A and B are shown apart, each in its own frame.
Chain A
Amino acid sequence: MNRWLLSILLYLVCPAWSAPGGITTGDTSQRAYLMPMRGLNEQELARFNEGRGLFTQMWVIAPSRDTQVDGLGPLYNRISCVACHPNNGRGRAPDGPEGEMRSMLVRLSIPGPGPHGGPRPHPVYGDQLNEQGVPGVPGEGRAEVRYQESVEVMADGMPISLRRPELHLTEEGYGEFGPLLTSPRIGPAITGMGLLEAVSEEELLTWADPNDRDGDGISGRPNQVWDVAYGKPALGRFGYKANVATLRQQIAGAFIGDLGITSSLHRTQNCTSVQTACQQALNGGEPELSDRQLDDITFYHQVLAVPERRNRSSSAVTQGEALFHQTGCAACHRPQMRTSKQAQPARLANQIIEPYSDLLLHDLGEPLSDGRRDFQASGREWRTAPLWGIGLAEIVADEVGYLHDGRARNLLEAILWHGGEAAGSRERFKALDSTHRDRLLTFLKSL
């Protein structure tokens, strides 16, 4: 059966998101992504607060008397998690070459497979450009983004300006970069990650169709990645390429990659063999982030409430929702899933959720490609971005970007960048008149 027809049928069977079990928040203010799920007990609330404290913590260079929060660097991007996820929301790209990467980073690799099938790190600069170094340790360089503007014309003649980014690395701290592959990424919103983890692998795999056997042009497939905790292959579900297996590993990866904070999952500092000053810098403990801290910040992510949908019954939203299905968007941005009965924490179990994602990889075409393989994801393949809460993104933060590299300045631009498997949906969207386009966008704003 055609996948988007199936999607519509499923949606008709389960028309309402009933009894969401306290996992959502009705807050529509700038605090919308900051709220805990309802009904946390005193102990859980204390853990939530501890985790929040770590997420908003400005990390300190070792040695320090603030021993619980020292160990920043030696190489790093920003000094807090919240810098790249303002108010737990999405980051943005610089608007031009003079702009700094305030909530964006650049992944680095060289051609060829790396350990366990992941990207192959650059021998000098590692797997991520760390622009900052603690005093005495040079930063690795600076990334600049320049844009080329182009115009996309809708079927009704309305022109839409799009900007295509070009990345330039400058101010090399450790010699020439040489040939390398890059992939810029803005910080994503962090709500709902525990619920995504709570969906069973079996449920996700039922939506995979790697060889497009149903012939609908959509061939979602899972990424098989390396589970660093258990030392074995696993289904990937986090990150823009679904290249991380678990939420805990995603968080520990960000701590080492973005902040230079070690944990039991990443015990060595983020210095390559030629970065001698980096290797000689003092650390903030071994590891710098304790398991208790990693557990607390993971718990914080797990129990952040997801924004409730708004104006669900308004005619503009219902029409927009129908158009979302008719144009085929819902084939990948799957409206509903059920979490596993065995999920932990128990409050995440057996919930019907509306992430608007299938967590699978899809080919989005050459214009979005980063030309860089990440486990089984090709350069053109990206994980379907969850859309829940996206309608509040511009309330939560003043300026946000969309898509992995923040090139899209609004949702309309983001849709128009979709290619590959999503090209048909994009063309159907372009064919809509302005009233219907607005309704589809109104629906997205209601998420």
Chain B
Amino acid sequence: MKRLQRVLGMVACLVSLQVQAKTQLTVMTSYPESVVSRFEEAFESRYPDIRLQILWRMPFDALPYLLQARQGGVDVYWTPSQRNFLTLKAAGALGPIGIDRKGLPEIIGGGRVSDPQHYYLASETAGYGLYYSPERLRQLGVQVPEQWRDLTDPRYQGEVALPVPSGVGYAHMLVDQLLQSEGWVAGWNLWRAIARNSRLMMSRGNFVTDEVAAGRSAIGLTMDFFAQSSRARGAGGAFVYPRKTAFNPAQIAITAATPHRAEAELFVTFILSEKGQSLLFLPDIRKLPIRPSVYAQAPEGYDNPFTLEADLSYDAKKGITRRGLNAVLFDAAITHQHAHLIEAWDLLEQAQKDASPVERKRLDEAYAALTSWPIEEPDETSELARACVKRADEPVAEAACAEAEQTWNRFFQKAYAQAISISKEILAQRRVTEL
């Protein structure tokens, strides 16, 4: 009887309450749970009549979804992917954002972060830098790096965690910023020199911060929020921006097709408000607010891109147009040939010691092979660069990019083999002579 009473009691509780249904606002993002859940809870607490539905897609996957009919029901797009916002704007897929933009800068470090016509607005930013173990650097006898080039120091051998752009999304801009600041060929040679000291991080599940925190690497190339979030949550270590680096802003926009423009504007307003921006300070987020005034509430020592003494100039559009091509080149020159690249440099340096003039001439050939580069810097009209960006969408583009990929794979395989062969030959001759 008691059990029956209990069941009936529960049933009574379950009689549906007549409540007014909330408006559902659909937000597409590529942020992780730690970011999404904080903003979701804070927004729904501030606006209890609006319920968020979060749809998650990586930028490459989000674009076709947002370009379909009625934009898949998405009201707001919120993500760090400037190329998607540029494409969506060009396609007429974004609507106006009628909010108060007072106190929101549109340029940081010389780079524009929001759309001039305000179809998308910057919502936060994040910069590239180095996460390291101070103790390990002391053991290696090296100073804290001030520029990317410092990672070529031989004392870093095997101690650098380097993310690969074909597997780690944020590495695209990391690679390109160095190409822009050093120049095309010089930049690629610098990457190869850094790679010589590196352990490659091939996928997004393999965290650079873990490599350093666990002691498997002394230093890693990463984004500030990965490092600062790890530190804030107890991982130790330190983070530094090189003197010349790049920042990657995230943006937010309202779709052209939304039937919930008023609610969408409330969401955008909240994200960009003092309250919303201050959520970025939380230990599991640690991104950089776009609203300068909010830094007054920042935890001690928090980086501020508006006062940071670093050269942040970077042409994002240029990087976007060649990101696919860069990734293919990085794999051909570094990822697929990593062991050979290291062996070739090791043998060449060994052979260069006490080399005779005749040997030196041959070793110059090896050096030339090791530093050779198969393609000039693509400009904005490059069909190949366009093909490598579009390869996932268009079979013709895929064929063109894949063909170049195979050519470059063969090019670097041959070049590194040639350098290894010459160096080995000279070292062998030298041993015979010594005998």
Seen from chain A, the residues whose Cβ lies within 8 Å of a Cβ on chain B are 27-31, 46, 49-50, 52-53, 56, 58-61, 64-66, 79-80, 82-83, 86-87, 98, 100, 102, 111, 132, 135, 144, 166-172, 176-182, 369, 371, 379
Question: Given A49-B206, A53-B204, are A65 and B61 neighbors across the interface (CB < 8 Å)?
Answer: yes
Contact A100 B44 (CB under 8 A): yes
A27 to B235 CA separation, bound complex (whole angstroms): 9
Indicate if the CB atoms of A30 and B10 lie closer than 8 Å: no
Number of A-B contacts (CB under 8 A): 109
Are B73 and A135 in contact (CB-based, < 8 A)? Answer: yes
B6 touches A59 (CB 8 A): no
- Interface contact A56-B33, CB-CB below 8 Å: yes
Report the separation of the CA atoms of residues A124 and B30 in the bound assembly, to the nearest whole angstrom: 33
A171 to B51, CA, bound (A): 13
**Contact flag A53-B16 (CB < 8 Å), given A65-B64, A79-B54, A181-B10:** no
Q: Which of B265-296 contact A (CB under 8 A)?
A: 283-284
CB pair B7 A111 closer than 8 Å:
yes
Add 5 more A-B contacts to A27-B234, A177-B16, A180-B14 (CB < 8 A).
A49-B207, A56-B33, A144-B17, A167-B14, A176-B16
CB-CB under 8 A from A53, the residues of chain B are 203-205
Contact flags B26-68 to A (C-beta < 8 A → 1, else 0): 1000101110110011001000100101111110110011000
Q: A422 → chain B, closest Cβ, in Å?
A: 20
Q: Size range of the interface on B? A: 35 or more
B-side interface mostly: mixed
- Which one of B10, B26, B203, B230 contacts A371 once the chains associate, using CB atoms below 8 Å? B10
**Which A residues lie within 8 Å of B16 (CB)?**
169-172, 176-177
Minimum CB–CB distance from A258 to chain B (whole Å) comes to: 13
Q: Which of B204-226 contact A (CB under 8 A)?
A: 204-207, 210
> Which residues from chain B contact A100 at a C-beta distance below 8 Å?
41, 44, 51
Option from A28, A64, A176, A177 in Cβ contact (under 8 Å) with B57: A64
In contact, B73 and A30 (Cβ under 8 angstroms): no
Tell me, rounded to whole Å, the shortest Cβ–Cβ distance linking A73 to chain B.
11
Q: Mark B1-18, 1 if CB is under 8 A from A, else 0.
A: 001001100110110110
Q: How far is the CB of A351 from chain B (nearest CB, A)?
A: 22
B6 near A369: Cβ-Cβ < 8 Å: yes
**A132 cross-chain contacts in B, Cβ below 8 A:** 53
Q: How far is the CA of A132 from the CA of B234 in the complex (A)?
A: 35
CA distance A178 to B33 in the complex (A): 34
* Contact A171–B13 (Cβ < 8 Å): no
Q: Among the interface residues A52, A60, A102, A180, which one has the most CB atoms of the partner chain B within 10 A?
A: A60
* Given the contacts A64-B61, A132-B53, A168-B14, A50 and B7 also touching, CB distance less than 8 Å: no
CB atoms of B33 and A31 under 8 A apart: no
The one of B3, B10, B17, B283 that contacts A182, using a Cβ cutoff of 8 Å = B10
Do B17 and A170 touch across chains, with their CB atoms under 8 A apart? yes
Assuming the contacts A65-B392, A170-B19, asked whether A181 and B7 have C-beta atoms less than 8 A apart, the reply is yes
Bound complex: CA A7 to CA B121 (Å): 63
- Of B17, B21, B34, the residue contacting A168 (CB under 8 A) is B17
CB-based contact B33/A182 at 8 Å? no
A28 / chain B contacts, CB cutoff of 8 Å: 234
Decide if B374 is an interface residue (CB 8 Å cutoff).
no
**A and B contact pairs by CB, cutoff 8 A, 6 listed:** A49-B206, A50-B205, A56-B33, A82-B33, A168-B14, A169-B16
Contact across chains for A98 and B14 when beta carbons are under 8 A apart: no
B21 x A171 contact (CB < 8 A): yes
Q: Which residue in chain A gives the minimum CB-CB distance to B235?
A: A31
* Residue B92 at the chain A interface, CB threshold 8 Å: no
Whether B233 sits at the interface, judged by CB under 8 Å, is yes
Provide the residues of chain A in CB contact with B57, threshold 8 Å: 60, 64, 66
- State whether the Cβ of B72 lies closer than 8 Å to any Cβ in chain A: yes
Question: Using Cβ atoms and an 8 Å threshold, which residues of chain A touch B19?
Answer: 170-171
Nearest CB on A from B234, distance (A): 2
Cβ contact within 8 Å between B234 and A182:
no
Distance between Cα atoms of A179 and B19 in the complex (Å): 20
Other-chain residue from A59, A66, A170, A180 in contact with B11 (beta carbon distance below 8 A): A180
Q: How far is the CB of B3 from chain A (nearest CB, A)?
A: 7
Q: In whole angstroms, what is the CA distance A53 to B72 when docked?
A: 26
The interface residues of chain B lying within 8 Å CB-to-CB of A168 are 13-14, 17
Which chain A residues lie closer than 8 Å to B53 at the CB level?
A: 132
Given A58-B32, A58-B36, A369-B6, do A177 and B235 touch, yes or no (CB 8 Å)? no
* 7 residue pairs, one from A and one from B, having the closest CB atoms: A29-B234, A53-B205, A58-B56, A30-B233, A135-B73, A49-B205, A65-B61
Instruction: Please give the distance in Å from A86's CB to the nearest CB on chain B.
Output: 8
Residue of B nearest to A66 (CB): B61
Complex Cα gap A347–B336 (Å): 34
CA distance A362 to B6 in the complex (A): 20
Chain B residues, CB < 8 A from A82:
33-34
Cα A379 to Cα B61 with chains together (Å): 45
In the complex the two chains form, what is the Cα distance from A200 to B6 in whole Å? 37
Check A80 against B33 for contact (C-beta < 8 Å): yes
Across the interface, name the chain B residue whose C-beta is closest to A70: B61
B286 to nearest A CB, angstroms? Answer: 12
How far apart are B81's CB and chain A's nearest CB, in angstroms? 14
- In the bound complex, residues from chain A placing their C-beta under 8 Å from that of B14 are 167-169, 177, 180, 182
